Amino acid sequence: MADAAWKRVAAEAEVREGEPVVVEVGTDKILLVRIKGTIHAVNHECPHYQEKLEKGVLFGTEIVCKSHFARIDVTTGRVLSPPAYNDLPVYPVKIENGEVWLGASENPKFPKPPANLGSDPRLFVIVGAGAAGNAAAEFLRRGGFAGRIVMLTPEPDRPYDRPNLSKDFITGKAGEDWLPLHGSKFYPAQGIELMTGRRVVSLDPKKKTVGIEGGESLSFDKLLIATGGVPRRLPVPGADGAGCHLLRSAADAKAIVASAAAAKSAVVIGAGFIGLEMAGSLREKGLDVTIVAPEPVPLAHVFGDRIGAYMKSLLEGKGVTLLLGRTPKEIGGPAGAKTVTLSDGTTVKAGFVVIGLGILPAVDWLSGTGLVEDGAVPVDEQMRTRAADVFAAGDLAAVPDTEWGRRRVEHWIVAQRQGARAAAVMLGRDPGVPEVDVFWTKFAGASLKSVGSTRGHDQVVYRGSVEEGKFLAGFYRRGKLTGAATLAMPQDLVAIERLLRLGVPPRPEQIQDAGFDLVKAARAV
């Protein structure tokens, strides 16, 4: 490298052990981190949604982004754990006369596929190209798999950012070009055979084949089942009519955007995360929005009444009307002039209706395989199903749970991490300690995040104030911390995720005591 390429960026003494510092080189902002005496330099923007990594939490060589908990190795720039996809640029560092100098950035966005691609004769098939399927394909290649990877989806699109469909895509802040997780050249360059427009309709686990709609079939050496879920339908007259929308796919979201462009008002049925996000986004777009749902307080079954009531007040503050404690009985009228009749006889008029009642696992195509139980696919901690060489991950996978026997989680990062975990096991590697569930939702200007499981709690303790919108809540069941949630105290939540993962959760009084340094406790483990 030419000497001119080197830039002096800081005095060496300014970069203290374990305390990231941001420096500027031209328009780039770069994070300097000293670990065991050596200074490393990486770009400071998280490759997921460009959060500033200096606000994250450093554990050894690993920085955890405060927004959605991607884990990145600051010495190599490599993504260790989703939701980030691409690696970070790293910069060569030299120290001269007590000054830190940086060279030009290195590191491709994604590791090159193995040079011996094709030398492994095996074919790994991934059914589903969503969070779990895409992560599995990526981590198979990151893990050096040199065989064929075929990933199938009935959708026309390459893998895209599903969580955004109810957020910035609806408001218009993120356009269609923003949705794909990778550029169009990514999959061919990685040797990942993405087959769009292909619905898998059957599986023979003994013969190790999958059947594709239209008659084609594929033999596999290993298979990942990652078909996610289908939206629950509303069982009332008129719910399938024109101007009534479900939301799971990009096509669904585009149809809602088209309806919103021609309407002044909307009814959202369901006050789960998707309903609340959709209501917040449509309101932000300027529509009059009414939410209809049976529960008296949204999210109370997950986070308790206090947090639920606060989140509800945020939506009300933005002008969303919540008609709670009632259910829809009938939906009438043409698209553009819908009438929703409720259980208490009230009617609500709106241009269109969005129904958000959660999902059912997409397991129809697995009937007769013996792999489905209680409507889901049970797996062990290694994401193995009951059939040899067949794995499952994502919304349809029921994983072992010490408290409940099994649990199924419907979260983006969980699905990605399960996909990555399945990939490690498919490669014959130890996938390590299972991840703690991580979730975020964003509406009415607030980003609520949680780790672990908050359901079924019998005690909640707080740090900060829920009503002031800045808190950390610890959820306990029979004296044991099972999960935590936060608004505006993400570093503490990052610490709790680690403490839960390593099996040393904080006690209630430690969460309540704002003077107890959770990050320090997590670093000490």
**Contacted entry of ligand FES, ligand FAD, none for residue 365, CB cut-off 5 to 8 Å set by kind:** ligand FAD
Stretch that binds ligand FAD, among 92-100, 236-244, 405-413, 472-480 (CB under 6 A): 405-413
> Total binding residues for ligand FAD by CB under 6 A?
35
Q: Which is nearer to ligand FES, 159 or 351 (CB)?
A: 159
Distance CA 461, CA 91 (A): 43
**Beta pairing partners, 81:** 71
**Contacted entry of ligand FES, ligand FAD, none for residue 67, CB cut-off 5 to 8 Å set by kind:** ligand FES
- Asked if 395 touches ligand FAD (CB under 6 A), the answer is yes
Distance CA 386, CA 200 (A): 20
Subset of 92-121 contacting ligand FAD (CB under 6 A): none
Q: How does DSSP classify residue 184? A: T
Q: Which is nearer to ligand FAD, 33 or 136 (CB)?
A: 136
User: Environment class of residue 195 by beta-carbon count within 10 Å: exposed (0-12), middle (13-18) or buried (19+)?
Assistant: middle
Q: How far is CA 263 from CA 168, 238, 260, 438, in A?
A: 18, 19, 5, 35
* Closest distance to ligand FAD from the beta carbon of 160 (Å): 9
Q: Which residues are near ligand FES by CB under 6 A?
A: 46, 48-49, 51, 65, 67-68, 70, 83-84
- The contact pattern for ligand FAD, residues 274-313, with x = CB under 6 A and - = no contact, is x---------------------------------------
**Contacted entry of ligand FAD, ligand FES, none for residue 395, CB cut-off 5 to 8 Å set by kind:** ligand FAD
**Contacted entry of ligand FAD, ligand FES, none for residue 139, CB cut-off 5 to 8 Å set by kind:** none
**Contacted entry of ligand FES, ligand FAD, none for residue 45, CB cut-off 5 to 8 Å set by kind:** none
Stretch that binds ligand FAD, among 100-108, 126-134, 312-320, 450-458 (CB under 6 A): 126-134
Distance CA 42, CA 58 (A): 13
120: its two tokens: 């492994």
Q: Which regions of 16-92 does DSSP assign to beta strands (E)? A: 21-25, 28-35, 38-43, 57-59, 62-64, 71-73, 79-81, 90-91
Q: Which is nearer to ligand FES, 65 or 315 (CB)?
A: 65
* Closest distance to ligand FES from the beta carbon of 51 (Å): 4
Give which of 308, 158, 287, 135 is closest to 224, Cα–Cα: 135
361: its two tokens: 């696992």
* Closest distance to ligand FAD from the beta carbon of 82 (Å): 11
Give which of 110, 136, 126 is closest to 189, Cα–Cα: 110
Which run of H or of E encompasses 256?
A: helix 250-261
- Asked if 56 touches ligand FAD (CB under 6 A), the answer is no
Whether residue 298 is preceded by a cis peptide bond, meaning omega within 30 degrees of 0, is: no
**Beta pairing partners, 191:** none
Q: Which is nearer to ligand FES, 49 or 462 (CB)?
A: 49
Q: Sign of the C-alpha dihedral, residues 53, 63, 439, 471?
A: negative
Which of 21, 100, 126, 127 is the binder for ligand FAD (CB under 6 A)?
A: 127
Which of 15, 415, 420, 489 is the binder for ligand FAD (CB under 6 A)?
A: 415
- Asked if 412 touches ligand FAD (CB under 6 A), the answer is yes
Q: Which is nearer to ligand FES, 70 or 239 (CB)?
A: 70
**Contacted entry of ligand FES, ligand FAD, none for residue 51, CB cut-off 5 to 8 Å set by kind:** ligand FES
Distance CA 369, CA 206 (A): 9
Terminus-to-terminus CA distance in the chain, angstroms?
41
Q: Which regions of 199-306 does DSSP assign to beta strands (E)? A: 200-204, 209-212, 217-219, 222-225, 229-231, 244-246, 265-269, 288-293
Subset of 340-369 contacting ligand FAD (CB under 6 A): 362, 365
3: its two tokens: 């000497």
Cβ-Cβ contacts under 8 Å for 112 (sequence gap 6 or more) = none
* Closest distance to ligand FAD from the beta carbon of 130 (Å): 2
Given the rule CB under 6 A, which residues bind ligand FAD?
Answer: 127-133, 152-155, 162-163, 165-166, 199-200, 226-228, 247-248, 274, 362, 365, 394-395, 410-413, 415, 439-441
